[in-house]
Amino acid sequence: MGRRFADRRDAGRALAAALRDDVGRDPVVLGLPRGGVVVAAEVAAALGAPLDVVLVRKLGFPGQPELAMGAIAAAGDAVETVRTPAAARTGEDAFAAVHERELIELRRRERAYRAGHEPVPLAHRAVVLVDDGLATGATMRAAVAAVRRQAPASLVVAVPVGSPRACDELGPDVDRVVCLQAPTWFRSVGQAYRDFTATEDDEVVGALDAARARDRR
């Protein structure tokens, strides 16, 4: 395990340093809400790139919401659904009910975060997908599928920390995975941070508003 990041902003600055020389032309940085947007804001600022979000929601098992049976993601109008192997343990009706509930929350967050702003165009651009870490990788796989539908020129997944398995499994689906720390004894994303306080909606909106103001200057 490398050094622990002070917080998500510290992790974002470290990630930006690793990405600075090789992200492709005309980059766009996309953060996965909520914590990933805070990390992504630092990356976007360092690269001089626009910041946007990919709306994602984990699909947790009924009665065990922390355990992922899949994930959904939206980039533009398309919604992508990814199932984990564990999803076979639940029936279609239960899966559909969770899917519908999380889709409602996803659309609520989309309205709150975009606040009337159009999504940043992704076609033919170098896209960097950022989260604060990868555990199962389910939400990131859904985000990758949603972004791929927008025909980017290239797609890089960048995270400060992740499980070796999740990082390896994502490799074939993207052009590159940048993971600063992939400890053999991975327990949780939070183990890489001294401060892993939950990110709230207002912090996400603030990061996006600051990036939009910077881009207008």
Whether the pTM exceeds 0.85: the reply is yes
Angle between helices 8-19 and 35-47 (to 10 degrees): 40
Q: With bands split at pLDDT 50, 70 and 90, how would you rate the model's confidence at 41? A: very high
Distance from the first to the final alpha carbon of the chain: 40
Q: With bands split at pLDDT 50, 70 and 90, how would you rate the model's confidence at 87? A: confident
In a domain, 123, yes or no: yes
In a domain, 139, yes or no: yes
* pLDDT of amino acid 186: 92
> Which residue has better confidence, 98 or 21?
98
Total number of domains constituting the chain: 1
Q: Provide the Cα torsion 112, 118, 120, 122; round to 10°.
A: 110
Query: Using CA atoms, how far apart are residues 102 and 124, in angstroms rounded to an integer?
Result: 30
Which residue do the tokens 């290239």 mark?
154
Asked if 20 and 158 touch (Cβ cutoff 8 Å), the reply is no
Residue 193: domain span? 8-54+119-216
Q: Is the Cα torsion angle 164, 161, 156, 59 positive or negative in sign?
A: positive
Q: Is the Cα torsion angle 98, 101, 105, 110 positive or negative in sign?
A: positive
| CATH number (domain holding residue 136) | 3.40.50.2020
In a domain, 175, yes or no: yes
Candidates 126, 195, 129; CA nearest to 167 is 129
* pLDDT of amino acid 67: 79
Query: Using CA atoms, how far apart are residues 37 and 76, in angstroms rounded to an integer?
Result: 17
Tens of pLDDT, residue by residue over 43-63, are 999 999 999 999 999 998 888
Strands, E assignment, the chain: 27-31, 51-53, 55-61, 64-75, 78-83, 126-130, 154-161, 176-181
In a domain, 30, yes or no: yes
Q: With bands split at pLDDT 50, 70 and 90, how would you rate the model's confidence at 1? A: low
Asked if 202 and 209 touch (Cβ cutoff 8 Å), the reply is no
Tens of pLDDT, residue by residue over 149-204, are 999 999 999 999 999 999 999 999 999 999 999 999 999 999 999 999 999 999 99
In a domain, 36, yes or no: yes
In a domain, 174, yes or no: yes
- Whether pLDDT at 31 is above 80: yes
Tens of pLDDT, residue by residue over 131-149, are 999 998 989 999 999 999 9
In a domain, 204, yes or no: yes
In a domain, 103, yes or no: no
* pLDDT of amino acid 215: 80
DSSP label at residue 174: S
